[in-house]
Amino acid sequence: GGNVNDTVSLISSTGTCSNPLQNPSPCGGGASGHISADSEGVYYVNSSCLEGVGLLQLCYRGAGDAVFDTTGLSARVQAHATSFTVNDARGGGGLRGQA
């Protein structure tokens, strides 16, 4: 999980995390918007913000940082699920499946 004041976002793999036009605060244009961790350190992404499919990169801004930076991590958004993993945020188990 993350710290409550840390922020992450998912943007185009060709975008620049520190560019507010390519990494906007509200979601849209294939970007997730800025997502803060909840009180338990869990991040929730509104799936309607990530319309379409493609390769996205994960951006991160720590509580004391002025701008976002790239993490080197990416995520591929697909039109359908090929597998899934559901983990309890508090470590109480989980569920895995594959299509």
Domain ranges within the chain, ordered by starting residue: 7-98
Residues 6+ apart with CB under 8 A from 13: 54, 55, 56, 57, 74
CA separation for the pair 95, 19 (Å, rounded)? 37
Q: What is the pLDDT of residues 36-74, one digit of tens each?
A: 877 777 777 777 777 766 889 999 999 889 999 999 999
Name the nearest CA neighbour of 10 among 38, 67, 49: 49
Residue 89 has pLDDT above 50, yes or no: no
What predicted TM-score, i.e. pTM, was given to this entire model?
A: 0.73
CA separation for the pair 15, 76 (Å, rounded)? 15
Q: What is the pLDDT of residue 78?
A: 75
